[in-house]
């Protein structure tokens, strides 16, 4: 029998067992109520048949646009412990992708960059998708003012691909990008090292004629894909889009097909949410 504080006798050595067959490590915000960050990425990826380990960067009752809010950023000691535990549990043995979204502080960005450096060195084929969540034209910057530089300098070099909206892309680049041509040129400037592609959503809004424009840029060229916009303002569409792109890529889709599938998923969810007049994204049929 085991005494108090003794290791339980399981009849086998847990270290001899295989780790969970994780497909995606998703590092981003988490809310109790609503569908943003991991609260939308995890069910989206699971619906595609993928196993996900969520790593929270902030834990909130809901998004800050409500009149009450509880919670805050995960303490750095905890966050570093979560990342260390991924190594201790051998998560990268099976993991194929790391999805990075909202971060709670520049210090988290630095800790994550150090972990990604080790992870990609050990597993160069690891897909790293960075959604540099920082704000939008209607809300402005809603993160620590030092975070854009931390994302640009510490995390972009580890990313296989990026999925910023137009505002976030301007924050990364450090200047306004009024046209598609300027957006494409700026994206090409990031295609070095590990970074293979940039997908900018709501690109060049000054040129927007009412459609939803997404600019895809790779080393071999660029493409602009435009759809009619679904006019409904629920939060979390960018998180949903990036999760769906990541999932499609892991299922073998090319970048353009992954973007098209992700946009279709976002449009379906927005149409359902609007039909139900809901204040949060409705991911499945009620």
CB 158 within 8 A of CB 117: yes
Backbone dihedral region of 174: left (phi > 0), alpha (psi from -120 to 50 degrees) or beta?
left
Model pTM score? 0.92
Number of domains in the chain: 1
Find the CATH number of the domain harbouring 97: 3.40.1190.20
Is 62 part of any domain?
yes
Q: Give the pLDDT of residue 227.
A: 76
Residue 233 is predicted with a pLDDT of 73
pLDDT category at 123 given cuts 50, 70, 90 is very high
Structural domain range at position 126: 18-275
Instruction: Indicate whether 169 belongs to any domain.
Output: yes
Cβ atoms < 10 Å from Cβ of 146: 12
Q: Using CA atoms, how far apart are residues 183 and 72, in angstroms rounded to an integer?
A: 34
DSSP code for 37: T
223 belongs to a structural domain: yes
Higher pLDDT, 2 or 82: 82
The pLDDT tens digits for 144-196 are: 999 999 999 999 999 999 999 999 999 999 999 989 999 999 999 999 999 99
Q: What pLDDT shows up at residue 193?
A: 94
238 part of a folded domain: yes
- Residue 284 resides in a domain: no
pLDDT tens, residue by residue, 219-238? 999 999 887 777 677 899 99
Cα dihedral 140, 151, 76, 237, rounded to 10, equals: 50
- For strands 161-162 and 197-201, give the pairing: parallel
Q: Does residue 205 lie in a domain region?
A: yes
Q: How far is CA 212 from CA 8, 133, 176, 202, 205, in A?
A: 56, 19, 19, 6, 9
Please tell me the distance from the alpha carbon of residue 198 to that of residue 190, in angstroms, as a whole number.
Answer: 8
Q: pLDDT tens across 20-41, in order?
A: 899 999 999 999 999 999 999 9
End-to-end CA distance of the chain: 50
With CA atoms as reference, report the closest residue to 241 among 257, 224, 263, 214. 263
Cα(81)–Cα(190) distance, rounded to whole angstroms?
A: 31
Residue 3 lies in a domain: no
Q: Is residue 65 part of a domain?
A: yes
Residue located via tokens 């071999």: 220
Helix axes 76-88 and 106-122, enclosed angle (nearest 10)? 10
What pLDDT was estimated at residue 2? 52
């Amino acid at each position: 029998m085991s005494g108090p504080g003794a290791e339980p006798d399981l009849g086998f050595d847990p270290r001899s067992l295989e780790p969970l067959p994780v497909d995606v490590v998703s590092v981003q915000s988490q809310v109790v109520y609503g569908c943003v960050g991991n609260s939308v990425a995890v069910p989206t990826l699971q619906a595609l048949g993928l196993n996900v380990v969520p790593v929270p960067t902030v834990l909130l009752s809901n998004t800050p646009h409500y009149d009450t809010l509880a919670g805050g950023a995960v303490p750095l000691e905890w966050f570093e412990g979560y990342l260390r535990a991924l190594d201790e549990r051998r998560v990268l043995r099976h993991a194929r992708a790391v999805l990075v979204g909202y971060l709670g502080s520049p210090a988290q960005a630095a800790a994550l960059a150090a972990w990604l450096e080790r992870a990609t060195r050990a597993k160069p084929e690891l897909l790293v998708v960075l959604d540099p969540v920082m704000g939008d034209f209607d809300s402005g910057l809603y993160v620590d003012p030092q975070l854009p530089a931390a994302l640009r300098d510490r995390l972009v070099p580890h990313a296989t691909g990026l999925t910023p909206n137009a505002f976030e892309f301007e924050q990364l680049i450090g200047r306004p990008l009024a046209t598609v041509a300027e957006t494409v040129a700026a994206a090409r400037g990031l295609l070095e090292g590990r970074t293979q592609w940039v997908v900018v959503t709501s690109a060049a809004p000054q040129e927007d004629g009412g459609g939803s424009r997404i600019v895809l840029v790779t080393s071999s060229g660029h493409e602009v894909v435009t759809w009619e916009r679904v006019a409904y303002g629920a939060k979390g569409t960018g998180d949903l889009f990036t999760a769906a792109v990541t999932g499609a890529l892991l299922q073998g889709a090319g970048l353009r097909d992954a973007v098209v599938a992700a946009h279709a998923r976002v449009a379906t969810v927005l149409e359902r949410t609007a039909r139900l007049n809901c204040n949060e994204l409705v991911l499945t049929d009620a």
